Amino acid sequence: MKKKNTQLLGAHMSIAGGIENAYGRGASIGCTAIQFFTHSNRQWAMKEISDSTIRAVQEAQNKTGITHAMVHASYLINLGSDTAATVKHSLITLKKEIEQCNALGINYLVLHPGGGKSDPQKVMQQISAGLTEVLQGVPHNKTMILLEIMAGQGSHVGSTFEELAYLRSNVHEKKNIGFCIDTCHLWAAGYDFSTEKGYKKVFEEFDTILGISHLKAIHLNDSKQKLGSHVDRHAEIGEGTIGLEAFRLLMNDKQLYSIPKVLETPKDELEDYARNMHLLYSLVSDN
C-alpha cells in the first residue's frame, strides 16, 4: 500500500465550469496527478485567465493536494507547418499557453512537436527555432515544454528518440525542454516494451539518446492499433494490443515512480478513469 501512495497517477480532466474544477474532479477519484487543456484544443481563440481563476486554481491545488498538474497544449499548434499563417498563430498561441501555465503555477506544458511537408530535418529546425523564439519571449519562465513522442502518423516528426533529441538539441533554452512518453504513441511508433527484455531495451535506449532525467511525464494509454502501425488510436488499459505486462513493468519501475502518469483513455467519464487507475494499481507488487 505504501508504494501505491508514492505513485503520481491520474487522468486527463475536463475543465467544464472552470479550470479549478479539474482538480476537484481528479481528487474525487483519487488522482495524485492530472492533465487538462486550458481552452478548447481545436480553436485558436484563448480567453485571458482572470485573477479570480488564478486564485481559484491555487485554492483547488491546496484543497486537493494535487501539485502535479500538467497542461496539454492545443492540437492546432504546429511550429513545423508549411503555412506561414499557421506558424504565426502557433507562435502566438504557444507563448500564451506558457504564460498561462506560469500564472497558474503549472510546471509542464505537453506539446506535439508538429510536422510539415518539407524535408524532416528542415521541419525539425523550424520547430526548434520556433521553440527558441517562444521561450526567449517569456521572461522568468518556470514552465517546461515537454515534447511528446508521436505515433509517426503522416508528416509528424518526433516519433523516434533520435528526432526528439535533435529537436531539443537545436533549442537555445534547453533547460526548458523535456519529454513526455505516451505509451500508445511509443507502441505505434514501433518501440516494443511489452516484455521485460523489450522494456529494458527501450528505456535504456531512451536514457542513452534522451536522458531519463529529461522524462517528466507519461501518458498511459493502450493502443487499438498494432506495434509499429504509426496510427494513433488510444484504448482502455488492458483492452488494446500492448497488453498488461507492459503496464505492470511501468508501474513497478522505480526510476519512474516520481514521474506523473496520466490516462488519456477514450472513455473519459470519471468512473472509467477510476476503473483504469484501479487496474494499474492492482499491477503494483508489494516487494
Query: Active-site positions?
Result: 42, 72, 75, 112, 148, 182, 185, 219, 232, 234, 264
Which residue, 56 or 272, has its beta carbon nearer to Zn ion? Answer: 272
Pair 67, 61: CB distance under 8 Å: yes
Which residue, 216 or 219, has its beta carbon nearer to Zn ion? Answer: 219
Nearest-5° angle of CA 225, CA 226, CA 228? 115
CB 36, min distance to Zn ion, A? 12
Which residue, 53 or 225, has its beta carbon nearer to Zn ion? Answer: 225
CB 140, min distance to Zn ion, A? 27
CB 150, min distance to Zn ion, A? 8
Residues 89-128: x where in contact with Zn ion by CB under 5 A, - otherwise, as a string: ----------------------------------------
Pair 170, 128: CB distance under 8 Å: yes
CB 239, min distance to Zn ion, A? 17
Which residue, 156 or 219, has its beta carbon nearer to Zn ion? Answer: 219
Specify the DSSP element, H or E, that contains 3: helix 2-6
CB 262, min distance to Zn ion, A? 8
By the rule CB under 5 A, 12 interacts with Zn ion = no
**13 Ramachandran zone, left/alpha/beta (phi>0; psi -120 to 50):** beta
Pair 220, 237: CB distance under 8 Å: yes
Give the span between the Cα atoms of 144 and 127, in whole angstroms: 16
Sequence-ordered list of residues with C-beta below 8 angstroms from that of 179, at least 6 positions apart, any chain? 146, 147, 148, 149, 164, 168, 210, 214, 215, 216
Closest by Cα among 41, 50, 51, 15 to 93: 41
Q: Which of 20, 97, 182, 222 binds Zn ion (CB under 5 A)?
A: 182
Which residue, 20 or 148, has its beta carbon nearer to Zn ion? Answer: 148
By the rule CB under 5 A, 20 interacts with Zn ion = no
Residues 246-265: x where in contact with Zn ion by CB under 5 A, - otherwise, as a string: ------------------x-
In whole angstroms, how far apart are CA 209 and each of 58, 159, 161, 164, 212? 37, 13, 6, 9, 9
By the rule CB under 5 A, 219 interacts with Zn ion = yes
Pair 282, 239: CB distance under 8 Å: no
Total of chain residues touching Zn ion, rule CB under 5 A: 4
Specify the DSSP element, H or E, that contains 280: helix 270-282
Give the span between the Cα atoms of 254 and 111, in whole angstroms: 26
Sequence-ordered list of residues with C-beta below 8 angstroms from that of 208, at least 6 positions apart, any chain? none
Stretch near Zn ion under the rule CB under 5 A, chosen from 12-20, 195-203, 219-227, 279-287: 219-227
CB 182, min distance to Zn ion, A? 3
Q: Which of residues 137-166 bind Zn ion (CB under 5 A)?
A: 148
Which residue, 25 or 72, has its beta carbon nearer to Zn ion? Answer: 72
Where along the sequence are the contacts to Zn ion (CB under 5 A)?
148, 182, 219, 264
